[in-house]
Structure 1
Amino acid sequence: MSTRPEPAVSPVIVVAAAAALLSLAMGLRQSLGLFTQPLTTDLGIDVAEFTLAIAVQNLAWGVFQPLAGGLVPRLGFRNIMLIGAALYITGLLGLSMAWNPLTIFLTAGLCIGPAMGFVGTAITMSVASRAVSPQRRSLTLGIISAAGSAGTLYAAPLGQTLTQMIDWRAAMTGFAILAALMIPAAILAGRIDRQPLPTATPGGSDSLSGRDALKKALSTPPFVIMAAAYFVCGMQLIFLTTHLPSYLAICGMDPMLGAQALALIGFFNILGSLFFGWAGGRWNKMVLLGMIYLCRSLILAWYFHDLPTPQSTLLFAALMGFLWLGVGPLVAGSVAEMFGLRWQAMIQGLAFMSHQFGSFAGAFGGGWLYDHMGNYTLAWQLGVGLGLFAGIVQIATALATPRPPAPAPA
């Protein structure tokens, strides 16, 4: 009795589907800051009560991402991503019907947060890493990261338009309908489960158990430094996505300016992700990471030092956007080079957990400082100082660490 051969896995379909999945996941969650003012005003709650849910969301994302990566060898990418899509849709629908801080905490925090762990950067970039050759991996990871950035281009204007035309609940329902597209994207990207692992990386962790792979990662100094610097990255970025629209409203700017700034960040994020994906295949990835942290911090200091104008806000959004998710392909590529592909999602998720602890500090800490001090001054000053320190340490560590051998030309 003959058996029907397995159809070949198309790298183009897998990468495109993974990119679409990350685009939806990142675009929708990065636009939640638009609802800070209308939601808190409508429900009569403090800003810190809403930002606590966003902070817990980021923390849960960080905790569940290495867990999801560790489950991939057992459950497969497709099942992991479908679980995340279902949680995401549930969280958005529940948030559209929220009536008090507890329901916001349960939906925005404890549904969308774990969902991001199952459909976020570590999972989608691991899918893309397996679908392409090592020579094309860095640029492909840049493409995936760029897709995550592109999500803000349509999600932020959609959310702001629906909020102004109807209300924030209608906008959240629209987000839930858009999130339903995650399901076919997860099914298509999950085709990578049919493809066997490529040849193991010399000195990597492909032959190790999950526990031993984690031990190896935590005993590798360059990885530990990279993960620690990732904390500051999360703190800076989530502070902006959560509090920039509120900051602009406090300064008397047009509410649509916040949506325009987030959309502009998303557009230039595409360019930056592609550039750093390309650059990571040619230069030291960890040096590039340190340079991103330094440049971001200097731009933050320039923008928040004076009162914003529409022109300075849009320029700031463009500059920050170029430096936003460029860290994604650099971190993912570094993890693949150091540890191989079998446990890439789990180890990259471990690094990202540090990023999300920083996100918790940026989202909740920014709201807490604002409620207690009446402004965001100390919040941005802390972000600048820690960013400069992280960038210097990251570059120094990179220069003191021998680079892994480059892949042979395709």
Structure 2
Amino acid sequence: MSSSRTDWTRSAIVAVAAAAFIVTISMGVRQSFGLLLQPIGRDLGIARESFGFAIAVQNLLFGLVQPFVAALSERFGIRRTLIAGAIVYIAGLLAASAVHTGDGLVLSFGVLVGLALSGTTFVIVLGAVGRLVAPEQRSVAFGIVTAGGSLGQFAVVPLAQALIGAFGWRSSLILLAVLVGSVIVAAFGFRGARAAAGTAPRAPGEPDWSLGAALVRASRHRHYWLLNGGFFVCGFHIAFVGTHLPAYLVDRGIPAAIGAWSLALIGLFNIAGSYLFGVWGGRHSRPRLLAGLYAARAVAIAAFVLLPLSPASALVFAATFGFLWLGTVPLTSGAVASMFGLKHLATLNGVVFLSHQVGAFFGAWWAGLLFDRTGSYATIWNVSIVLGILAAVLSLATRDTAAFPRAPQAALGAAT
């Protein structure tokens, strides 16, 4: 019986493929929102802080409701959660296409899309995938699914830019809503996944914790909080760059097309980064890999703002930062699984993801606020460098050892 868990079963392959596709669409559409900052701002007459605040609310709600949606997915199933999330996502995009005020943008882009993302992205699908693959395959599987988000960014962002140029931002949102409808079809790829918490497999020696007991144990685990701190910085970086990089480049005289291709290159290079960090996470210390990743982000940002800006330097930065973009996800998800096992992986990942989205809230909002007040993104770039160094230090102090004692046989097997 145990040997069958070490092979890639048909249900595992289908689930990984479905998860990667779902993340491709949901994250690809979401990452195109930065292209809308300037056209929406011009048409509605709103400042960058207003647009940034709408995206910030989206990120915050995405994180706040994620643990609850994850718990619901464990109770009612992955498929139902994904379908419900896709329907709300479509409603949010259609509502955004009809807005005429900043408040309407907050309700559509912020509230509806934020709620929808909690049911259609990483935490939900990784929780299902984590149950279907063997522990030694888990980091690789997480990396493949995470790479799907990058493929979506590479494929969907240029498509969104073309749609905006050809049809305007309102019609482009309607067409993107149609694309999100494909998530409903892909949700049936989890038909063989046992999503309920009561049927999830447990690691050798893992206690049969209730959800409440698992949350209490996590809240008292110092290294779990260190992991949360690092992931806060990850969210800050991603929301700031994803929302404001295209506008930053246009402000500096770089063509808008370069901004779109910069976001696309981030997605393209993160395909390799997510996969490789997933593979490396199965072979080396995940906290040390996270420390190296965050430190490399700080160096990349410093080089970008200090060197002369040109289309070439923008694209090189995008490729470099893209390689480091979401490699944190398989490493962090793998660390949570290593600490607390599989039974409540989706919910415990959801709590960590909340920290990520709180960081994203400040990254998206503060960038717009500081720009409106100073006319420059210089301060937020400097803050991003400092936070990258801080996250590297926190990660170096993290240990992802199990929060429960291993059985002697399991410990012996792990040693071999």
The normalised TM-score by structure 1 is: 0.93
2:340 counterpart letter in structure 1? F
Distance 1:76 1:67 in 2: 13
C-alpha RMSD of matched pairs (Å): 2.2
Query: What is residue 379 of structure 2 aligned with on the other side?
Result: 378
Q: CA deviation at 1:72?
A: 2.3
Distance 1:249 1:129 in 2: 41
CA deviation string 1:58-105 (max 9, x = no partner)? 000101111111112321111111111111111111111111111111
Distance 1:9 1:406, change over 3 A: farther
Distance 2:412 2:370 in 1: 46
* Structure 1 unmatched runs, 5+: 1-7
Query: What is residue 21 of structure 1 aligned with on the other side?
Result: 22
Distance 2:49 2:307 in 1: 24
Instruction: Give yes or no for the alignment of 1:285 onto 2:250.
Output: no
Query: What is residue 356 of structure 1 aligned with on the other side?
Result: 357
1:201 counterpart letter in structure 2? A
Distance 1:307 1:366 in 2: 21
Contact kept in structure 1, 2:77 and 2:195, CA below 8 Å: no
Distance 1:166 1:198, change over 3 A: closer
Distance 1:212 1:105 in 2: 36
Q: CA deviation at 1:388?
A: 0.4
Contact kept in structure 1, 2:83 and 2:184, CA below 8 Å: yes
Distance 2:140 2:373 in 1: 44
Q: CA deviation at 1:306?
A: 3.8
Contact kept in structure 2, 1:96 and 1:170, CA below 8 Å: yes
Distance 1:400 1:154, change over 3 A: closer
Distance 1:261 1:333, change over 3 A: same
Query: What is residue 51 of structure 1 aligned with on the other side?
Result: 52
Contact kept in structure 2, 1:57 and 1:113, CA below 8 Å: yes
CA deviation string 1:327-370 (max 9, x = no partner)? 11111111111111121011011001001000000000100000
Query: What is residue 238 of structure 2 aligned with on the other side?
Result: 237
Distance 1:154 1:221, change over 3 A: same
Distance 1:189 1:398, change over 3 A: same
Distance 1:211 1:401, change over 3 A: closer
2:183 counterpart letter in structure 1? M
1:16 counterpart letter in structure 2? A
* Structure 2 unmatched runs, 5+: 1-8
Distance 2:10 2:273 in 1: 29
Instruction: Give yes or no for the alignment of 1:61 onto 2:62.
Output: yes
Query: What is residue 220 of structure 2 aligned with on the other side?
Result: 219
Query: What is residue 5 of structure 1 aligned with on the other side?
Result: none
Instruction: Give yes or no for the alignment of 1:396 onto 2:394.
Output: no
Distance 1:191 1:94 in 2: 34
Contact kept in structure 1, 2:200 and 2:343, CA below 8 Å: no
Contact kept in structure 2, 1:130 and 1:197, CA below 8 Å: no
Query: What is residue 200 of structure 1 aligned with on the other side?
Result: 202
CA deviation string 1:127-159 (max 9, x = no partner)? 111121112111011000001111011211111
Query: What is residue 247 of structure 1 aligned with on the other side?
Result: 248
Distance 1:373 1:406 in 2: 60
Distance 1:339 1:377, change over 3 A: same
Contact kept in structure 2, 1:65 and 1:350, CA below 8 Å: yes
Q: CA deviation at 1:191?
A: 3.4
Distance 1:133 1:297 in 2: 34
Contact kept in structure 2, 1:201 and 1:339, CA below 8 Å: no
Query: What is residue 167 of structure 2 aligned with on the other side?
Result: 166
Q: CA deviation at 1:384?
A: 0.6
CA deviation string 1:372-400 (max 9, x = no partner)? 01100001101111110120221133499
Contact kept in structure 2, 1:153 and 1:267, CA below 8 Å: yes
Distance 1:299 1:19 in 2: 28
2:275 counterpart letter in structure 1? L
Contact kept in structure 2, 1:135 and 1:409, CA below 8 Å: no
Distance 1:257 1:407, change over 3 A: farther
How many pairs are equivalent? 402
Distance 1:339 1:158, change over 3 A: same
Contact kept in structure 2, 1:96 and 1:169, CA below 8 Å: yes
Distance 1:401 1:209, change over 3 A: closer
Q: Secondary structure at the match of 1:228?
A: helix
Instruction: Give yes or no for the alignment of 1:316 onto 2:317.
Output: yes
Distance 1:42 1:271 in 2: 38
2:221 counterpart letter in structure 1? T
Contact kept in structure 1, 2:85 and 2:116, CA below 8 Å: yes
Distance 1:301 1:406 in 2: 45
Query: What is residue 370 of structure 2 aligned with on the other side?
Result: 369
2:253 counterpart letter in structure 1? G
Contact kept in structure 2, 1:222 and 1:401, CA below 8 Å: no
Q: CA deviation at 1:318?
A: 0.6
2:203 counterpart letter in structure 1? T
Contact kept in structure 1, 2:335 and 2:400, CA below 8 Å: no
Query: What is residue 3 of structure 1 aligned with on the other side?
Result: none
Contact kept in structure 2, 1:277 and 1:330, CA below 8 Å: yes
Contact kept in structure 2, 1:158 and 1:171, CA below 8 Å: no
Matches within 5 A, 1:141-152: 141-152=142-153
Q: CA deviation at 1:408?
A: 5.9
Query: What is residue 4 of structure 1 aligned with on the other side?
Result: none
Q: Secondary structure at the match of 1:119?
A: coil
Distance 1:40 1:342 in 2: 45
Q: Secondary structure at the match of 1:162?
A: helix
Q: CA deviation at 1:302?
A: 0.9
CA deviation string 1:190-217 (max 9, x = no partner)? 4313798454124546x22212111111
Contact kept in structure 1, 2:128 and 2:195, CA below 8 Å: no
Distance 1:224 1:36 in 2: 34
Query: What is residue 305 of structure 1 aligned with on the other side?
Result: 306
Instruction: Give yes or no for the alignment of 1:276 onto 2:277.
Output: yes
Q: CA deviation at 1:172?
A: 1.1
Matches within 5 A, 1:64-143: 64-143=65-144
What percentage of aligned pairs have identical amino acids? 38
Q: Secondary structure at the match of 2:154?
A: helix
Distance 2:377 2:205 in 1: 46
Contact kept in structure 1, 2:338 and 2:402, CA below 8 Å: no
